[in-house]
C-alpha cells in the first residue's frame, strides 16, 4: 500500500497472558476500540512500527506528487491543469498531515526526510513507474488513488488517534482524486481511436503495479498479525486486493477497456473475481531501488530539499532576528 511491508520487530504475536501488566492494559484498550493518544503509555514496538508506517505513508504522498507533477504544465486544457494542480496540492497536504502524526511519536519531520533521502525509509513502489502520456494521469487517479482509498478508508479506525484523525481528513479529500482520474479515462476511452488506445495502454501499464500496491500476500506474516492486533492494520493485503479488483473490473468494462489479464474470471462461488497475481519479483526489484524511476524520484526529492535549504534557513534567521528585536524593545 502507501505503506508496504512494514516490519514490527515481533517474531510472534504474544498471548495476553504473556504480557506485562502495562502491556495488557494497553492491548485491552485497543480491543475495546479506544484510541491511543501520544502521551499514553505504549509498547516500544507499537511506537516504532507506527513511525515506520506513518513515515512511509507520508513519504509516499510527497514522492507521489512527482509523476503527476510531470503533467501539470502539459495538461490539455486550463481546467484540467487547475484540477491537477489542486490534486497534487492535496497530496502535499496529505504528506504534511501524516508527518505531523508521526511527529507526535517523538521523531522530527526533518529526521524522517533525511532517512528517506539516505535510502533508509521507503515510499510506495507505485511511484517508481513513469507517467508517459496524459491517459496515465487518468489511470493514476482512477487506479492508484482508488487502491489508496481501499486501504485508507479502514485505517480511519486505526488505534492511534493522530493517525486516525489524519486518515479521516485524507479520506474526505481522496474521492475527488479518484473521480477526476476516472473522468479523464472516460474522455480518453470515448475519444478518438488514438485516445482510446492511449487509455488502454495506460491501463495495461498501471494494472499490475496497482495490484502490487497492496503488497504480497501476508496471511502468514507475523508482522501483519502483530499490526492487526494493534489495529494499525485492519485488513490483510489479499482482502484489500480482492476488493480492489472486484470494484475496478466493472469500471474498466464501463470504459470499454480490457483488463490485461487473460485469467480474469468472475467466480460465482466466492462472489469475486479470480485474477492473476502480479510479478512479485518485479515488485521486490522496485523496492530494492531498481524500478524504472527510483533514481529519478529520489534525486528529485533530494534536489528539492537541498535547493530549498537557503530558504528554510533564511526564514528561520529572519524570524530569530525579529524575535530578538522584540525582546530587546520590551
Partner 1 sequence: MKKEWPLWEVFIRGQHGLNHRHVGSLHAPDAEMAIRNARDVYTRRKEGVSIWVVPSAQITASDPGNKEALFEPATDKIYRHPSFYDIPDEVGKM
Give, to the nearest 10 degrees, the angle between helix 44-63 and helix 161-189.
30
Region binding partner 1 by CB under 8 A among candidate stretches 33-41, 67-75, 205-213, 294-302:
33-41
Q: How far apart are CA 170 and CA 155, in angstroms?
A: 11
22 binds, among Fe ion, partner 1, none (CB under 5 to 8 A by kind): none
Region binding partner 1 by CB under 8 A among candidate stretches 187-195, 246-254, 272-280, 319-327:
319-327
Please name the residue ranges forming H helices in the chain. Answer: 21-31, 44-63, 65-69, 78-103, 109-117, 134-139, 146-155, 161-189, 193-212, 222-229, 237-255, 280-285, 294-307, 309-329
Cell of 147: 487502491
Among 39, 73, 77, 192, binds partner 1 (CB under 8 A): 39
Cβ 195 vs Cβ 257: under 8 Å:
no
282 binds, among Fe ion, partner 1, none (CB under 5 to 8 A by kind): none
Radius of gyration of the chain (CA): 21
Residues that bind Fe ion (CB under 5 A): 61, 91, 94, 145, 174, 177
Phi, psi dihedral angles at 272 (to 5 degrees): -160, 175
Per-position x/- string for 143-182, each x denoting binding to partner 1 as judged by CB under 8 A, each - no binding: ----------------------xx--x---x---------
Residue 96, interface with partner 1 (CB under 8 A)?
yes
Among 118, 319, 324, 325, binds partner 1 (CB under 8 A): 319
Residues in contact with partner 1 by CB under 8 A are 37, 39-41, 86, 89-90, 93, 96-97, 100, 103, 108-110, 114, 165-166, 169, 173, 309, 312-313, 315-316, 318-319, 322-323
Amino acid at each position: 500500500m502507501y505503506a508496504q511491508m512494514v516490519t514490527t520487530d515481533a517474531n510472534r504475536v504474544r498471548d495476553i497472558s504473556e504480557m506485562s501488566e502495562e502491556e495488557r492494559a494497553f492491548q485491552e484498550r485497543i480491543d475495546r476500540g479506544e484510541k491511543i493518544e501520544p502521551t499514553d503509555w505504549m509498547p516500544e514496538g507499537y511506537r516504532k512500527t507506527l513511525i515506520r508506517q506513518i513515515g512511509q505513508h507520508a513519504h509516499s504522498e510527497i514522492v507521489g506528487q512527482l509523476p503527476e507533477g510531470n503533467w501539470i504544465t502539459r495538461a490539455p486544457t486550463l481546467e484540467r491543469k487547475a484540477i491537477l494542480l489542486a490534486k497534487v496540492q492535496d497530496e502535499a497536504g496529505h504528506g504534511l498531515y501524516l508527518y505531523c502524526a508521526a511527529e507526535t511519536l517523538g521523531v522530527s519531520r526533518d529526521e524522517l526526510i533525511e532517512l528517506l533521502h539516505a535510502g533508509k525509509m521507503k515510499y510506495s513502489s507505485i511511484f517508481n513507474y513513469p507517467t508517459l502520456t496524459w491517459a496515465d494521469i487518468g489511470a493514476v487517479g482512477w487506479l492508484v488513488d482508488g487502491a489508496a482509498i481501499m486501504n485508507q478508508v479502514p485505517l480511519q479506525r486505526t488505534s492511534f488517534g493522530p493517525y486516525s484523525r489524519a486518515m479521516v481528513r485524507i479520506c474526505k479529500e481522496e474521492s475527488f482524486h479518484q473521480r477526476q482520474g476516472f473522468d479523464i479515462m472516460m474522455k480518453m476511452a470515448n475519444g478518438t481511436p488514438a485516445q482510446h488506445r492511449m487509455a488502454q495502454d495506460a491501463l495495461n501499464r498501471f494494472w499490475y503495479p496497482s495490484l502490487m500496491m497492496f503488497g504480497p500476500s501476508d496471511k502468514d506474516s507475523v508482522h501483519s498479525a502483530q499490526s492487526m492486533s494493534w489495529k494499525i492494520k485492519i485488513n490483510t493485503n489479499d482482502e484489500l486486493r480482492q476488493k480492489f479488483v472486484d470494484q475496478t473490473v466493472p469500471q474498466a468494462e464501463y470504459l470499454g477497456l480490457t483488463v490485461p489479464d487473460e485469467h480474469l474470471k468472475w467466480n460465482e462461488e466466492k462472489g469475486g473475481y479470480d485474477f492473476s497475481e502480479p510479478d512479485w519479483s518485479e515488485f521486490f526489484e522496485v523496492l530494492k531501488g531498481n524500478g524504472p524511476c527510483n533514481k529519478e524520484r529520489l534525486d528529485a526529492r533530494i534536489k528539492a530539499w537541498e535547493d530549498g535549504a537557503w530558504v528554510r534557513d533564511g526564514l528561520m534567521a529572519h524570524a530569530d532576528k525579529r524575535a530578538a528585536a522584540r525582546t530587546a524593545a520590551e
